[in-house]
Amino acid sequence: MIQTPESLIVEDAVLTYGKGEFATPALRGVSLTAKPGEVLLIRGPSGSGKTTLLQLMGAMKEPDKGKVSICGTPTTGLSQKRLRAMRLNRIGFVFQFFNLLSSLRAWENIAAPLDIIGMDRGAAEKRAKALLAEFGLADRADHFPKQLSGGQRQRLAVARAIAHDPPVILADEPTAALDTENGQAVAQILRDLAVKEGRIVVLVSHDHRLEPMVDREITIEDGRVVEERGPARPKSNALRSTLSALIEARRAASGDGRGGSGARQEGPRISSLS
Ligand SMILES: Nc1ncnc2c1ncn2[C@@H]1O[C@H](COP(=O)(O)OP(=O)(O)OP(=O)(O)O)[C@@H](O)[C@H]1O
């Protein structure tokens, strides 16, 4: 396993929803590390804390106790503005039901978030269309989400998630709404984002079809890690050195000491983290 400061690290995280008699402990001291170049699967029964954990890893929530560090930057104590900047710069989210904007065309769904982070319209459209071509959707650029199949919608959602070139992809049940063929296609895309592009990919899923695609599995129950398995696929030395070079390129290109854009240097950046 490649050791790098660009990992996503959760240390002894505790999070309880509500207070007093309404207190619901969701995480009771979870620690894990997700590394560039690997796919990490988080599994566990309903209510075990998976989504909450993913939200901590995506800077959407902060733990009550413990620490989360995303590619070298701790989230603890950051203002809402900086947490938002961290999400915009470093995280790509993929959801079970795609979360696409129904009134926007496929390319606009990708371009809209680029607009928010300040990319000019022409560049955003170019980037969106290049990603659509990469994901086999070039001829669907002007379609609205309702005109796309489930598999096409999820590919579009993944394209949107990586448009800003984040080093971390977090996916909550990304294949649950898809049939076998489309589920496998999306799983392979997510795997490629880790293995070929040196990103961190973390999946929360009950889908057993994903298992051959993942490097490590963590099972949580009742807010605690109860099992850790992997690596299911030991990496060859050649793959390790390719990955190390990719991760180094991403770090060098980012210029801010974190995992950044190497594979996709045209990707946008916002600078409000400092
Ligand atoms: N906003 C909330 N307010 C109060 N309790 C919550 C909230 N969100 C989650 N919980 C509780 O926290 C615990 C963990 O929930 P979480 O959604 O993280 O579990 P999960 O493993 O993702 O579940 P599922 O597989 O059903 O989506 C559960 O007991 C849940 O009821």
- Ligand 1 contact, 268 CB (< 6 A): no
109: in domain: yes
Residue nearest to atom 12 of ligand 1 (CA): 26
18: in domain: no
Q: How far apart are the C-alpha atoms of 64 and 9, rounded to whole Å?
A: 16
- Ligand 1 contact, 43 CB (< 6 A): no
168: in domain: yes
Q: What's the mean pLDDT in 160-171?
A: 93
123: in domain: yes
Give per-residue pLDDT as tens, 11-67: 999 999 999 999 999 999 999 999 999 999 999 999 999 999 999 999 999 999 999
* pTM metric for this prediction: 0.84
Q: How far apart are the C-alpha atoms of 233 and 151, rounded to whole Å?
A: 26
Confidence class for position 261, pLDDT limits 50, 70, 90: very low
| CATH code for the domain in which residue 177 is found | 3.40.50.300
Q: How far apart are the C-alpha atoms of 16 and 231, rounded to whole Å?
A: 31
259: in domain: no
Q: How many domains does the chain have?
A: 1
Residue 242 pLDDT: 67
Whether residue 231 has a cis bond before it, omega within 30° of 0? yes
Confidence class for position 117, pLDDT limits 50, 70, 90: confident
The number of the ligand 1 atom at minimal distance from the alpha carbon of 44 is: 21
208: in domain: yes
What average pLDDT does the chain have? 85
Residue 247 pLDDT: 65
The ipTM of this complex is 0.98
Taking alpha carbons only, the member of 267, 264, 240 closest to residue 35 is 240
- Ligand 1 contact, 54 CB (< 6 A): no
Q: How far apart are the C-alpha atoms of 14 and 266, rounded to whole Å?
A: 38
- Ligand 1 contact, 18 CB (< 6 A): yes
Residue nearest to atom 5 of ligand 1 (CA): 17
91: in domain: yes
87: in domain: yes
The residue segments making up the domain with residue 104 are: 36-59+79-254
Q: What's the mean pLDDT in 160-186?
A: 90
- Ligand 1 contact, 48 CB (< 6 A): yes
The number of the ligand 1 atom at minimal distance from the alpha carbon of 49 is: 18
Q: What is the DSSP string of 41-76?
A: EEE-STTSSHHHHHHHHTTSS--SEEEEEETTEE-T
Q: How far apart are the C-alpha atoms of 94 and 187, rounded to whole Å?
A: 12
- Ligand 1 contact, 26 CB (< 6 A): yes
pLDDT over 60 at 254, yes or no: no
Sequence-distant (6+) residues with CB within 8 A of 2 are 35, 36, 37, 240, 243, 244, 247
Helix-, strand-, coil-residue percentages of the chain, each rounded to 5 = 40, 20, 40
